[in-house]
Amino acid sequence: MVHLLRLVGARALCARRAGSPLLPPPTRAISQQAQRQMDTLRPKVREFVERTVRMCQPAEVHVCDGSEAENANLLNQMAESGVLEPLTKYDNCWLARTDPADVARVESKTFIVTEEKRETVPIPRKGRKGMLGNWMSPKALEHAVAERFPGCMRGRTLYVVPFSMGPVGSPLSKIGIELTDSPYVAASMRIMTRMGSKVLETLGDDDFVKCLHSVGRPVPVSKKPINNWPCNPENTIIAHVPSKNEIISFGSGYGGNSLLGKKCFALRIGSTIARREGWLAEHMLILGITNPAGHKRYIAAAFPSACGKTNLAMLQPSLPGYKVECVGDDIAWMKFDDKGVLRAINPENGFFGVAPGTSSATNPIAMKTIFSNTLFTNVAKTGDGGVYWEGLEKEVDTSVGIVDWHGDPWTTGSGAPSSHPNSRFCAPAAQCPIIDPQWESPEGVPISAILFGGRRPLGVPLSGQVGSTLSLSPARFGAADIPDTAAGARGGAASAGHLAASLEGSAPIGPVASDTPPVASAGGGMRALLGLALRVALTGRCSSAVPQTCAARRPLTMTARAPSAVRHLTQQEATAVDQELFNEYQFSVDQLMELAGLSCATAVARHYPPARAAPPPRVLVVCGPGNNGGDGLVCARHLRLFGFAPTVLYPVQKEVPLYSRLAHQCRRDGVQVLDAPPADVADFQIMVDALFGFSFRPPVRDTLAPALRLLAEAKVPVCSVDVPSGWHVENGPDGPEALRPALLVSLTAPKVCAKHFSGAHYLGGRFVPTALAEKYDMRLPEYPGTDCVVRLDGAGDPAA
């Protein structure tokens, strides 16, 4: 922007010498006090301010410190000029009425400035109008600035607003400096961002996002502003220069166009910074959900403006024992930490919510948040000094008299709404009674799931999965197919579209951990949405086999997400654990075998659920002569109970009472037990590898080699029990016939070789005593409900 200011200044100087009215004569010099304030600024900030002063010619300069005294002065000043009215019914609440031409974001006058158009928006076919944003060239921006900004702040005070998007000092936060001639903007930025002297101290001599704003009405004005609201809607422009981290706004005082830390910085410029640096800036709420057992998960959810994000972020669950806490209601900045955990912060400091429709019935938490220290805009005012809008009919006594957002008397029979549909409240987030304790955590909160949603037209499914992890291409593709309707923004290219617009800032973000959050879509129905959120975040993970957007497909199945920190045991540790289970805790071999086999069967049934109307899936369970084979025999028996048609291949059957009993139980239950591969082996849909365990030592005996070869050459999914047969317990695949199973069920705790496995990974170890798990620092995951298995690889159960 400094370069742009230089260009504009040079053009202005040439115009003045030529007698052009482009740059009016300067007003009186700024005061000594203002100059002293400017002198305290660091060089980069001071240069930005000084060049703006020379171009815009304000009468005064005030560097905002964010103090209570400063805020009181700003509010009183606006009250004296008629911009604000006090709402005496509440504590430090104020009402602003804007010019009716300045009530929403103006998408048609919002531009991204790049050298090439294709860098900003797809170029449509000839005769077609694009719907994905507006482009402007640097030359066109230079001309637009030169036409608007010289002398635009005459008679007004330039406010230097230093602000932090995110907790001050957080490694996820970014700092901006907004220069504005609007006290309304300065006061609102104090609510919506962390603003003041501490930000300047933290910034030091570092770079920052440069934000320049003017209402575009120098003083004296030619005619009295409507509602005392200065603006210049005929010449409004909001421009973003991603390559230089600059934002320029002229002519509008409405929050979405003038609070440049909000959509302009947090999403538009933020998404380009995120793309360069490897993180995400998203139009998403963040909330924490705690279940009755006290387990907490955080989710992010993307919805278009005025679509219920605030209501969801402040939800009060009707399910007994559940608790929702709010981190943010509109924007999320997310980045993987050095441990591969996706973490998110709310870069904002307040709520800029849509007022109409907000009530004690729809959002009781918001109603408890907004009646102190809040700026209301374009809502109606009651005769007793309160506020009113559509949705409060049962909560506000209208007999006291109501003045609508135009300032005219209003009754329920007036035939027009009392408040503008895009009227807003601007309230501090810290006042929210369910604000999350970690909402200002510098490292951010860990995200367990991500939802996408919108205003659901007819024919769009209530919920479904559009991708499995934060490689967001599947999600973007699925969301692109779901239509969405327009929000409060006025006209222009982006006023309607598809859910893919929620992913506008998404981009490849580099290597991530395998334990990445699932991505799901949701449309309409807050109850269904909460149900989906609770299931994904607290008890499950979305299916990840195919992008899924049709409710007619198999319902989403869930399994708990395990922490990526679960410890892998060496062969020596695994042996020691088994010995302690047998000796110290007096577990019998058949007792552990029953628990292990049940866990394996549960994982297979969870991962490959049999269809109710189809013939039972045929499963070949290949059992070895040792304990792993015993686990397989138990697994086969339970698979039959779970609706499968198992057959056991048991090539070496030892005359050991325990194994003989297990084989007998299978036969008695109708499970065939064979000592040679069946002739119709190609007709099986699944194979279970229970051949060798972690104590296996090569070479493979001749009697077992055909069974191992059968598994290695299988054309169907293979599920391995504890350790894939033929693998070294620590080094992984070993030899030409090493298995490549699709599914691994670790028992007790995963073994070191599991680090070499890239398929679906489950753990069956709920029988491990707590003291034993702590002794070996197993860091076992939480198991959902009464389940005996938990998924470890960070994905969900795939569709059948």
Number of C-beta neighbours around residue 678 at 10 A: 14
Are the C-beta atoms of 483 and 457 separated by less than 8 Å? yes
Pairing of strands 686-690, 718-721: parallel
Are the C-beta atoms of 157 and 62 separated by less than 8 Å? yes
Are the C-beta atoms of 365 and 316 separated by less than 8 Å? yes
| Interaxial angle between packed helices 43-56 and 2-17, expressed in degrees from 0 to 180 and rounded to the nearest 10 | 30
Of 307, 600, 719, 788, catalytic = 307
For the chain, how many helices (H) and strands (E)? 19, 37
Number of C-beta neighbours around residue 277 at 10 A: 11
Alpha helices in 495-626 (DSSP H): 526-534, 571-583, 589-607
Would the annotation count 73 as a binding residue? no
Are the C-beta atoms of 247 and 95 separated by less than 8 Å? no
**Which residues lie closer than 8 Å to 734 by C-beta, 6 or more apart?**
698, 726, 727, 728
Nearest-angstrom CA–CA distance, 434 and 291: 15
Number of C-beta neighbours around residue 748 at 10 A: 27
Would the annotation count 128 as a binding residue? no
User: Which of the 8 DSSP states describes residue 554?
Assistant: P
β-partners of residue 93 are: none
Are the C-beta atoms of 228 and 194 separated by less than 8 Å? no
Tokens encoding 438: 């970690």
Alpha helices in 560-626 (DSSP H): 571-583, 589-607
CA-based nearest residue to 133, from 114, 113, 115, 110:
110
Nearest-angstrom CA–CA distance, 189 and 269: 17
Phi first, then psi, for residue 575 (nearest 5°) are -65, -45
Would the annotation count 725 as a binding residue? yes
Tokens encoding 449: 């799931």
Would the annotation count 699 as a binding residue? yes
Nearest-angstrom CA–CA distance, 556 and 548: 9
Taking the alpha carbons of 392, 396, 398, 403 in that order, is the dihedral positive or negative?
A: negative
Are the C-beta atoms of 452 and 519 separated by less than 8 Å? yes
Q: In what order do the strands lie in the sheet with 387-388?
A: 387-388, 380-382, 402-403, 409-410
Nearest-angstrom CA–CA distance, 198 and 65: 8
Would the annotation count 436 as a binding residue? no
Would the annotation count 102 as a binding residue? no
Alpha helices in 358-421 (DSSP H): 364-369
Distance set, CA 206 to CA 199, 209, 437 (Å): 12, 10, 30
Would the annotation count 627 as a binding residue? yes
Identify the three-state secondary structure at position 77.
helix
307 catalytic? Reply is yes
Would you mind telling me the total number of residues written for the chain in this entry? 800
CA-based nearest residue to 635, from 556, 573, 720:
720
Would the annotation count 629 as a binding residue? yes
* Burial classification of residue 771, based on how many CB atoms lie within 10 Å of its CB (0-12 exposed, 13-18 middle, 19 or more buried): exposed
What residue numbers does the annotated binding site for K(+) cover? Answer: 628, 689, 725
What residue numbers does the annotated binding site cover? Answer: 627-631, 689, 693-699, 722, 725
Catalytic residue set = 307
What residue numbers does the annotated binding site for (6S)-NADPHX cover? Answer: 627-631, 693-699, 722
